[in-house]
Structure 1
Amino acid sequence: MSEDQTDPAAVVIGASVGAIGALGTLLPELPADFPMPVLVVVHIPPEGRSSLPELFASRCALPVKEAEDKEEILPGTIYFAPANYHLLVEPDFRIALSNEEPVLFSRPAIDLLFESAADAYGTSLTGVILTGASSDGAHGLAAVAQSGGTALVQDPATAEGQVMPLAALDACPQARALGLPQISTFLRQLTPNS
C-alpha cells in the first residue's frame, strides 16, 4: 500500500452460538467490490479443521479463506480463524496465528483478534459482536471503541445466544445495538475512509 492511499481499514466479527445463521445473513450481503478485509472468529471445537471457509465460500461474493500465519491481509477478503489458533493482526497488517492459552475457554478468542486489530487499525476499524453464549469479545469491542473505531453489537433480542451481545453492550455502552439487517446495511455502506 502506498503512502498516499487512505489508511488501511478493516472489519472484525466475533460470534459463538448461533454464528452460522447470523454470519449467513451478513457475509453473503457484502458486495464483490467491498473494499475492506473481514476477519472473523467463531468459537469452534479445537479438534480437526474448520469447515467455515468452505461453508461460506459458495455463498459469498467475496473470496473466503482460512487465515494463514504471516500472510498479508488483503482488502475484499473474508478470513476465518482456524480451529485451535488465536487470530491476531500484526502492526504491519499481516496475520499472526497463536496457540497461546485459551481466553475465556476459547481458542480462537474474539478478544485477542479485536484488541490486536484495534492496535493496528485504530479509528479505521469496525468491530461487530454477534450472537454467542460467553462474554468473549466484550473487552475486545471496548478496545475497538477506545481506539476510535466503530462498535456494533447484534441486538440481544434478535440473537440466538444473548450472553455475548449483552456482555459486549455492558463493557462498551457506546456500541450501537442493531438487528442483523441493519448491521448488513451499515457494513455495505462502509468505505475505507468513512
Structure 2
Amino acid sequence: MPPQAIVVGCSAGGLSALHQLLGGLSGPLPVPMVVVCHSGSEDMRVFCELLASRSGLAVSEAEERQQPEPHHIYVAPSGYHLLLERTGRFALSVDPRVAFSRPSIDVLFESAAEVWGEHLIALLLTGANSDGAEGCVRVRRRGGTVIVQDPRTAQVPAMPSAALQLAGADHCLPLPEISLLLEALCS
C-alpha cells in the first residue's frame, strides 16, 4: 500500500544527512515529510531555509493545528514536541523531554504510527543518542515501514544502531540509497 506520510528523525550530523537525502530525490514526494532534528538551534527558520535552498523543496516549521500537505517538508520547532492528533493535524507540546530531547523523535514516530499505521514510513538517520528507537518499535507494531540508515555510513552511528537493536528495520541502507527507496515506495 502506498504511504500517506514519511517521518524522519536525526540528531548529530542530521543537517548534512538531510541535505544528501533531499538532494537525492528527483522532486517533491507525493506525501508530507515531517522531520525532527536535534539541531541545538533556538530558531529553526534558518534550518528550514538551508534545507529548502539545497533541495529546492518546500520546507517550513510545523504549526499548531496545521494539516500536513503532500509535496511539503515540515520541521519540528525548537523546544516543542511535535505530534499528530487523531485528526491528522499537528500538535505542539512542552511536555518533559524524552530521551533528553524536546522535540523528541519518539514522540513524533509514536503519534504518527497511531494516525497512519501501515501507511507510514519512518526513517531514522545519524545521531548521538537512542531517541527514535522506541518510536520505530511502535511504527513496526502498527504495520508501518521502518528505514534505518546503515550505522556504518552514519556520521554518528549511535541512533541508527540503537534502533536496529531495539526495533530492527524493514530496510537498512546507506544514505544515498534511501532517496531511491523512498521514491520507489511512494510511486
Give the one of 90, 97, 113 matched to 2:92.
97
Give the one of 94, 99, 106 matched to 2:101.
106
Give the one of 5, 27, 33 matched to 1:38.
33
Task: Report the Cα distance in structure 1 between the residues aligned to 2:68 and 2:171, rounded to whole angstroms.
Answer: 26
Which structure: greater helix fraction?
Answer: 2
Residue 188 of structure 1: how far off its partner (Å):
1.4
Retained in 2: the 8 A contact 1:30–1:62?
Answer: no
Quote the residue 1:56 is aligned against.
51
Unaligned runs of 5+ in 2: none
Quote the residue 1:148 is aligned against.
143
Task: Report the Cα distance in structure 2 between the residues aligned to 1:71 and 1:150, rounded to whole angstroms.
Answer: 24
Q: What is the CA deviation profile of residues 32-77 of structure 1, one whole-angstrom value per residue up to 9, with x for unaligned ones?
A: 342000000001326x311211111112232100111111111111
Matched, 1:184 2:179: yes
Q: 1:33 to 1:49 in 2, by over 3 A?
A: closer
Give the one of 157, 162, 165 matched to 2:157.
162
Q: What letter matches 2:60 in structure 1?
A: K
Residue 29 of structure 1: how far off its partner (Å):
2.7
Task: Report the Cα distance in structure 1 between the residues aligned to 2:114 and 2:152, rounded to whole angstroms.
Answer: 31
Find the residue that maps to 1:189 and give its secondary structure: helix
Find the residue that maps to 2:139 and give its secondary structure: helix
Residue 118 of structure 1: how far off its partner (Å):
0.3
Task: Report the Cα distance in structure 2 between the residues aligned to 1:182 and 1:7, rounded to whole angstroms.
Answer: 19
Q: Taking every aligned residue pair, what percent have the same amino acid on both sides? A: 47
Task: Report the Cα distance in structure 2 between the residues aligned to 1:29 and 1:76, rounded to whole angstroms.
Answer: 15
Quote the residue 1:67 is aligned against.
62
Find the residue that maps to 2:122 and give its secondary structure: strand
Retained in 1: the 8 A contact 2:6–2:120?
Answer: yes
Point out the more displaced range, 53-62 or 126-135.
53-62
Q: What is the CA deviation profile of residues 139-170 of structure 1, one whole-angstrom value per residue up to 9, with x for unaligned ones?
A: 00111111101111000000111110000001
Task: Report the Cα distance in structure 2 between the residues aligned to 1:166 and 1:42, rounded to whole angstroms.
Answer: 17
Retained in 1: the 8 A contact 2:48–2:59?
Answer: yes
Matched, 1:87 2:82: yes
Using the size of structure 1 for normalisation, the TM-score is 0.90
How many matched pairs?
A: 186
Residue 177 of structure 1: how far off its partner (Å):
1.1
